[in-house]
């Protein structure tokens, strides 16, 4: 895909292909490196279109490319942002939201066209996950509506398979529409070049097929086409991640438990974030539909909004809304699947641990049986051993006469030694047993 583009300073210049799209489920906006036409520009790029044209006119490309040697970059930007610009559609592209040396000078003229831009620079607006707002443009007397300002933000997220990290994309459009002339001015702020180029191609396709639409919200048709496409690929990336977890590591977990819990957590987090962003984008589209119904059809004689054009745009918005609902429902089903996959991983590992515990218990029971056998044998031989030990002492004397034997009169020494020692040992064991029982009861 290429954007038809030429420099206004050289109308006969050949078309420059500045964008080549590569389909990738991980990130549908990845592209080849930018062409030299877009390198080295740290200011605002401006593209203009006039009725009957089949391509964009790149009116402002860098600080070093004025139309004449007597005008500076800032002066040219001021002319393009002012009323002298007669183009039907003017698109301003600010490369990022970070302060640059030229930020103030570049934004000063743009704030005159897009008043909310000055408010947008507050922290809470720059880092919101999505919104849509609009405001009527009034005449000098403040009585009649002569146009419409809109501003919005669409946040998109992808999962980079090669790094297992989340990637973010922004679409931050501002629009200013004039009822009298039907002219539209659009500012894309802080969006990646690949995103802007695809949006420019989509807007140009709309202009080539339908001419200059008369409704002030017509750019959002192309914007939502790209949002839907990106959300679709984001949800498909979730599907591939879930299949990898379901069919890969989990399938072999019963044989060798090696579930990657950190990766499961990352997939779950990514799935939850995609569902959140989908909900916000759906709400944004609902707000745009509300704005569409409020704008309605104007019966004034100054380029009224045709009922047919308004109806067609509303039908497209309703269709896009339904598609977003479908993608959101699919993301919710994937969210449940990854939750089930995580639970399955826990169950598989728990079963492995339970199986190991059963094996250990079986081994312990076998050891217990062996010890019981040894204890029984010991108890059988203990009385004879005890009696033999007593009679083998010198307290008993057996003579040569088999019918006579003598018991020493000192045998009382044995009794007064054995009985107290036995009682002391029994007392110690009894006290220790009581202590163990009390500790177990406390637990």
The helix (run of H) or strand (run of E) holding residue 184 is strand 184-189
Pair 334, 435 in one domain: no
Pair 429, 300 in one domain: no
Pair 102, 163 in one domain: yes
Pair 310, 384 in one domain: no
Structural domain total, the chain: 2
CA distance 365 to 103: 78
Pair 377, 430 in one domain: yes
Structural domain ending residue among the three candidates 326, 352, 378: 352
Structural domain ending residue among the three candidates 352, 367, 396: 352
Residue by residue, pLDDT tens for the chain (443 residues) are 555 555 454 332 222 222 222 223 333 333 333 333 333 345 678 888 988 888 888 766 544 444 443 445 555 555 555 555 678 899 988 866 555 555 666 677 788 888 888 887 776 777 788 899 999 988 888 888 889 999 999 988 766 655 556 678 888 999 999 888 888 999 998 788 888 888 999 999 999 888 888 889 999 999 999 899 888 888 888 887 777 766 655 444 444 456 677 777 777 888 888 888 888 999 999 999 989 888 855 544 444 567 788 888 999 999 999 999 998 888 888 888 878 777 777 787 788 888 889 999 999 988 988 998 888 888 888 888 888 888 788 777 776 666 667 777 777 888 888 888 888 888 898 888 888 778 767 65
Pair 373, 331 in one domain: no
Q: Are 168 and 191 in contact (CB under 8 A)?
A: no
The pTM of this model reads 0.67
Pair 160, 129 in one domain: yes
Taking residue 116's Cβ as centre, other Cβ atoms within 10 Å add up to 17
Pair 194, 96 in one domain: yes
Residue 259 tokens read as: 């579930």
Structural domain harbouring 366: 359-442
| The dihedral formed by the CA atoms of 292, 298, 302 and 306, expressed in degrees to the nearest 10 | 70
- Sort 244 into a burial class: Cβ within 10 Å, 0-12 / 13-18 / 19+: middle
Pair 285, 408 in one domain: no
Pair 321, 229 in one domain: yes
Angle at 214 between CA 213 and CA 215, to 5 degrees: 100
């Amino acid at each position: 895909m290429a954007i038809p583009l030429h420099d206004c300073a050289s109308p006969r210049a050949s078309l420059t292909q500045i964008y080549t799209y590569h389909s990738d489920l991980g990130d549908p906006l990845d592209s080849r490196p930018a062409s030299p036409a877009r390198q080295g520009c740290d200011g605002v790029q401006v593209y203009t279109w006039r009725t009957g044209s089949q391509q964009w006119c790149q009116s402002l490309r860098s600080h070093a490319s004025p139309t004449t040697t007597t005008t500076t970059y800032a002066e040219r930007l001021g002319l393009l942002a002012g009323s002298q610009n007669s183009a039907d559609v003017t698109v301003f592209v600010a490369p990022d939201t970070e302060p640059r040396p030229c930020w103030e000078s570049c934004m000063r003229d743009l704030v005159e066209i897009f008043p909310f831009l000055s408010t947008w620079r507050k922290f809470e607006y720059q880092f919101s996950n999505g919104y849509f707002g609009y405001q009527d443009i009034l005449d000098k007397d403040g009585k009649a509506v002569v146009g419409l300002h809109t501003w919005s933000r669409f946040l998109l997220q992808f999962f980079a398979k090669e790094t297992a990290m989340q990637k973010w994309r922004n679409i931050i459009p501002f629009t200013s529409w004039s009822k009298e002339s039907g002219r539209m001015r659009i500012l894309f702020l802080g969006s990646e070049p690949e995103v802007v180029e695809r949006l420019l191609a989509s807007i140009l396709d709309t202009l080539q097929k339908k001419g200059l639409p008369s409704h002030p919200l017509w750019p959002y048709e192309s914007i939502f086409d790209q949002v839907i496409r990106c959300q679709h690929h984001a949800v498909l990336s979730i599907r591939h991640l879930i299949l990898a977890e379901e069919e890969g590591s989990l399938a072999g977990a019963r044989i060798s438990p090696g579930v990657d819990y950190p990766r499961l957590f990352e997939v779950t987090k990514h799935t939850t974030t995609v569902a959140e962003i989908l909900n916000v984008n759906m709400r944004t589209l609902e707000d745009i539909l509300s704005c569409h119904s409020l704008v309605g059809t104007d019966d004034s004689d100054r380029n009224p909004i045709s009922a047919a054009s308004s109806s067609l745009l509303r039908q497209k918005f309703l269709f896009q809304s339904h598609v977003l609902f479908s993608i959101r429902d699919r993301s919710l089903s994937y969210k449940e699947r990854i939750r089930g996959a995580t639970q399955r991983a826990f169950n598989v590992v728990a079963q492995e641990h339970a199986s190991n515990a059963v094996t250990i218990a079986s081994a312990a029971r076998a050891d217990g049986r062996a010890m019981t056998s040894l204890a029984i044998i010991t108890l059988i031989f203990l009385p004879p051993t005890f009696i033999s030990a007593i009679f083998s002492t010198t307290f008993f004397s057996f003579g040569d006469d088999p019918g006579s034997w003598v018991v020493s009169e000192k045998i009382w020494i044995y009794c007064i030694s054995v009985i107290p020692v036995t009682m002391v040992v029994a007392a110690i064991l009894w006290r220790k047993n009581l202590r163990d029982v009390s500790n177990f009861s406390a637990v």
